[in-house]
Amino acid sequence: MFKRIPVTILTGFLGAGKTTLLNRLLKENVDQKFAVIVNEFGDIGLDGSLLDGAKDGLVELNGGAICCAAMGDTVKAITSLLASDKDFDRVIIETTGLADPLPLAKAFINRPSLERAFSLDAITTLVDASTLLERLIDTEEAIKQIAIADIIVVTKSDLVDAQRLIDVGSKITELNPSAKIIIAVKGGLKVSELFNTPLPADTERLHAKAAEAQKNDGHHSHSDITSIHLRETQPLDLAKVSRFIGEHLVANGDHLLRYKGIFNINGRPERFVFQGVQFDFELLPDRPWQAGEERKSDLILIGTQIKKAEFAPAFSACVI
């Protein structure tokens, strides 16, 4: 069976450390061969001698990684990368600091040519611990970048005191209780932590975080973006799930920024992975359930002006 190439979208404001992380990915000896897409080659300080050999916006680096310049059109760059004869098994896309990553995420769901070849593995947002709280006061883009992320990397944690770090963590959890939070101390970070995260592994911790955040629903001081976590422990009926998606998620696409889940479908030996952006979604079979693994269905909804009571009964009705 053809295996789609996983894609990580790397976002965050200027100064959060995206370039540092990208350069580390390019230099670190890892098992995977990366293709990295940046807006311009200068964004990661590539040596001029490498650029002399660039062909169709592509550069192959000494370590084997591929670098591609988007020059303002990321989807075109991805298409060029796919059409090239370059060999790679993961794509990392850096967005500009003020960019909204949602349109790019949607491209991997609603464009058949990209959907067949690639799968959106994670949106990873880097935040600067020393400036985040101030950013959130006056910048809506920073709020959205946190709210829709699968992984949030807190950088420059060594430059702030313990209380500031606690405040940063609390604000992140308030905006996105489902995200995996990584504290990078003096740039220390395991590259493997950034990959293969359709949902946080520790769903019990996630459930507790989401429940606590929902107690404070309506009291967010910076945004009306809310994260909702739904769970069912009994198998779901696939036809009912399909109706739920159409009647309750797609129908509310104006308010839903992102949604993602892992479903236990009745009569199927494998998990089903579900993800969507506003009106576009995909629901695909994944790996088999492992022996001893609890078969349950988790669904995370991230959006504006949404309430758990509007979705929970309909999701529960999907149970066989």
Which of 29-43, 67-81, 262-276 is predicted least confidently?
Answer: 29-43
Please indicate whether residue 203 or residue 186 has the higher confidence score (pLDDT): 186
pLDDT at 61: 60
Strands 280-288 and 270-277 come out as: antiparallel
Average pLDDT, the chain: 80
Model confidence over 119-160: pLDDT tens digits? 888 899 999 999 999 888 877 888 888 988 989 999 999 889
Taking residues 233-262, what's their average pLDDT?
94
Strand order in the sheet with 180-183: 58-60, 66-69, 34-38, 90-94, 5-12, 118-128, 151-155, 180-183
Q: Is the pLDDT reported for residue 239 higher than 60? A: yes
Domain ranges (residues) in the chain: 5-194, 203-316
What's this model's pTM, rounded to 2 decimal places?
Answer: 0.77
Nearest residue to 253 via CA among 261, 242, 245: 245
Which CATH class name applies to 203-316?
Answer: alpha beta
Taking residues 238-247, what's their average pLDDT?
96
Please indicate whether residue 67 or residue 300 has the higher confidence score (pLDDT): 300
Which CATH class name applies to 5-194?
Answer: alpha beta
pLDDT at 30: 60
DSSP 3-state of 192: helix
Nearest residue to 21 via CA among 11, 6, 31, 33: 11
Percent of residues, the chain, with pLDDT higher than 70: 77
Length of the chain: 320
Q: Is the pLDDT reported for residue 168 higher than 80? A: yes
Go through 135-174 and write b for each residue having 16 or more CB atoms within 10 A of its CB, e for each that does not: bbeeeeebbbbbbbbbbbbbbbbeebeeeebeebbebbbb
pLDDT at 38: 77
pLDDT at 312: 96
pLDDT at 50: 41
Model confidence over 8-44: pLDDT tens digits? 998 988 788 887 777 777 666 566 778 888 765 555 5
Taking residues 164-182, what's their average pLDDT?
91
Taking residues 244-260, what's their average pLDDT?
93
Token pair recorded at residue 55: 């062909």
